[in-house]
């Protein structure tokens, strides 16, 4: 937060207070009206500084919230990453396979290495070409791992 905004608010309120005290000492109506205008100007200036400081604070609160959300997402991904092991399921390409010890109730599956490195879990899906040969493809980044097989070879759990 910009401290000058807070100092400006405090300074403006002090000036307004000094002007208000000065009004009590005035004798003529025209002098009072001049001081009232000066007082209103000081109050508006203080109010403007206070509103700017409030807007800065709201922006910082939002930034902190977003950063906390990002930290939580990264921590959750770090936990998720530990459940997978890099494997070479067929002669070509690599993928991350779910470790057998971490399977819980999930069936064996492979996740994309590109997406894994980008901090997301993207399960590879079998995709047959026109000759019947199957590749496993990422639905997010479209990378593929050819299996060299016709038909869909099932992924297996990774051994720890």
The model scores a pTM over 0.85: no
Contacts 24+ apart (CB under 8 A), 55-59: 56/1, 56/2, 56/5, 57/1
Q: What are the φ and ψ backbone dihedral angles of 129, each rounded to 5 degrees?
A: -90, -175
- Can you give the residue ranges of every domain in the chain? 3-75, 82-150
Each residue's pLDDT tens digit, 42-85: 888 888 888 888 899 999 999 999 999 999 999 999 999 999 99
Angle at 43 between CA 2 and CA 18, to 5 degrees: 105
For residues 120-140, average pLDDT = 94
């Amino acid at each position: 937060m910009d401290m000058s905004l807070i100092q400006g608010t405090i300074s403006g309120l002090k000036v307004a207070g000094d002007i208000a005290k000065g009004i009590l000492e005035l004798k003529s109506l025209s002098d009072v009206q001049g001081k009232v205008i000066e007082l209103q100007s000081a109050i508006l200036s203080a109010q403007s500084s206070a509103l700017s400081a409030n807007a800065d604070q709201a922006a910082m609160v939002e930034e902190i919230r977003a950063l906390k959300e990002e930290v939580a997402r990264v921590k959750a991904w770090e936990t998720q990453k530990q459940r997978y092991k890099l494997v070479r399921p067929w002669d070509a390409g690599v993928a991350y396979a779910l470790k057998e010890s971490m399977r819980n109730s999930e069936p064996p599956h492979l996740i994309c290495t590109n997406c894994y490195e980008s901090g997301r879990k993207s399960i590879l899906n079998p995709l047959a070409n026109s000759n019947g040969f199957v590749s496993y493809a990422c639905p997010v980044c479209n990378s593929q791992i050819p299996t060299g097989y016709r038909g869909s070879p099932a992924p297996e759990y990774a051994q720890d």
